[in-house]
Amino acid sequence: MATLLPPPKRQKVYHGIPEPESEPVQPSPNVVVQFVSEEDGHPLAPAVNLPANLSREGLEALVNKLKPEDDEPVPFAFHVALPTDVKAAPVFHSGGRVYRILLAASCVQSETCDEVFVNFGRTRFSDLVRIVLADRNATAPRLASSSKDGTVKVWATATRRLEYTLGGHSASVNVVRWGGGGLNGRGTLYTASSDRTVRVWDADGGRPLHTLKDHAHWVTTLTLNTDFVLRTGPFDHLGKKPRSDEEAQALALARYNALVSQNGEVLISGSDDHTLFLWSLFPSHTSSSSDASADAAERGGKLKPVARLTGHQRQVSHVAFSPDGRWAASAAWDSSVRLWDGKTGKFVATLRGHVAAVYRLAWSADSRLLVSASKDSTLKIWDLKTYKIKTDLPGHTDEVYCVDFVADKVVSGGRDKTVKIWKN
């Protein structure tokens, strides 16, 4: 009986075309690496010659093999701190040790070496050098993320590296805000949590400054009178464009100082306890004290709220300062919007017109108009002279979750899976 051969293998087809040919492997330059303990500076092993495109997983496996301890493999995450002398660069990982990179002498003064710094892949070992070059730039932006695990993580966006983690909250962190920390301040972070506290941190390293404990329920929203200035930086209504990064920083700092020199940096927190608190932790002059409470006392700042803002009958969903800092508006699940004095917290007016919970508020750049988004599927623009509805914006077919002003337009998004742009 004859043996039947199996049918030929079917060629794999990619969207109707044959499988593309695999790309040839590109040659990669090498670097000489030495691993050094951070605790005592003792080298883990002699220097080794590695390809620059070695993946993080491959480098991790190598480190585990080089360890003198006979224990289970552990994960490592690597980064580089590049000194002025590029011939030797320490490489750090989250486990606590320092690794020093020694670039090959033939690479340092050749064009081939530049490719190690320029042609980066996300998981390649040569990423380590790019990370440090970006991190050494003082203008590199950062991102703060909050989580239900009770932590806040601060990331360097240019390098995609975690800079530090803020731990201290015992429940979900609902809000995180960047602040300036008062006149010529060094920067602060404000966090609000379901543990009923608001915490204030030094943005340079994450040192805790204050813990505010006056709320009786979850704290769900925060606003600063400097939000608009911090968000727009050097750009104002005059339309002047800075010619350099240094000029942009100077203009942004001047705008910030001009605002906080009048009333300091003011914070308003809103909670599910139906109330809001107005805080003045960083008034308009600074001090050199290192202790947080003494620092606040010396500057006239108070760890107790300046005012308690009451009147809402249900949970506060959002609070927002006007761009000029004169007013603050709060929205709540009681279908109302309330207006407050931005300096004293004194009640000004109640804006009624929605028939369901108000989720979100946004101010126009000139502080003359306020728009609110609601569960009732509408947006309403309010006239702050008469405290009446100026324009009603129906159009969404379900709850409206977010709204913002973009120049002379209003942009909104909702549960109906649509984003609408409104123009006067």
Homologous superfamily in CATH for domain 142-423: YVTN repeat-like/Quinoprotein amine dehydrogenase (2.130.10.10)
Q: In whole angstroms, how far apart are CA 202 and each of 100, 146, 178, 180?
A: 30, 16, 10, 10
Every domain of the chain with CATH number 2.130.10.10 lies at: 142-423
| Structure confidence by residue, pLDDT tens digits, 85-127 | 444 444 444 343 333 333 333 232 222 332 222 222 333 333 3
The residue among 372, 338, 377, 339 whose CA lies nearest residue 358 is 372
Entry field: residues in the chain: 424
pLDDT at position 392: 93
Average pLDDT for runs of 10 along the chain of length 424: 74 63 72 69 74 77 73 64 46 39 31 28 32 38 88 86 90 91 83 94 89 93 92 80 83 86 90 94 58 50 83 95 94 95 94 95 92 95 92 93 90 94 87
Q: Specify burial of residue 223 (Cβ count, 10 A radius: 0-12, 13-18, 19+).
A: buried
8 A C-beta contact, residue 330 and residue 276:
yes
Residue 166: strand pairing partners? 152
| Structure confidence by residue, pLDDT tens digits, 329-365 | 999 999 999 999 999 999 999 999 999 999 999 999 8
* 364-375 exposure pattern, b = at least 16 Cβ within 10 A, e = fewer: bbebebbbbbbb
pTM, two decimal places: 0.65
pLDDT at position 159: 80
